C-alpha cells in the first residue's frame, strides 16, 4: 500500500515537471515583448515562469485525474 503512494507521488511529480516544461516551450511561441512594458525584464521573466507553472499544473492535474478515473472505471463492472 505504501509502495502505491510512493509510485503515485513519483508519477505526479514527473507529470507536473513534464507539463510545466511543455507549457514553457509552448509559451515561447507568444511574443510577450509587445504586451509588456520596456525595461521590466525581471517581471517579464517571473510572469513567464508563473504562467508556465500555472498552465503546466492545470494540464497535469487534468491528465492525472483522467488517469485515476480510467483506473477506477473497471471497478464499476466488479459490483
Contact 19, 61 (CB under 8 A): no
pLDDT at 76 over 90: no
pLDDT at 2 over 70: no
Contact 62, 12 (CB under 8 A): no
36: containing domain: 2-78
Q: What is the pLDDT of residue 1?
A: 59
pLDDT at 4 over 80: no
Q: How many domains does the chain have?
A: 1
Per residue in 55-68, pLDDT (tens digit) is: 999 999 999 999 99
Per residue in 45-56, pLDDT (tens digit) is: 899 999 999 999
Amino acid at each position: 500500500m505504501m509502495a502505491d503512494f510512493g509510485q503515485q507521488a513519483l508519477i505526479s511529480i514527473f507529470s507536473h515537471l513534464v507539463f510545466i516544461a511543455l507549457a514553457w516551450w509552448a509559451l515561447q511561441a507568444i511574443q510577450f515583448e509587445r504586451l509588456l512594458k520596456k525595461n521590466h525584464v525581471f517581471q517579464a521573466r517571473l510572469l513567464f515562469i508563473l504562467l508556465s507553472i500555472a498552465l503546466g499544473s492545470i494540464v497535469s492535474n487534468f491528465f492525472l485525474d483522467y488517469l485515476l478515473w480510467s483506473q477506477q472505471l473497471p471497478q464499476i463492472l466488479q459490483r
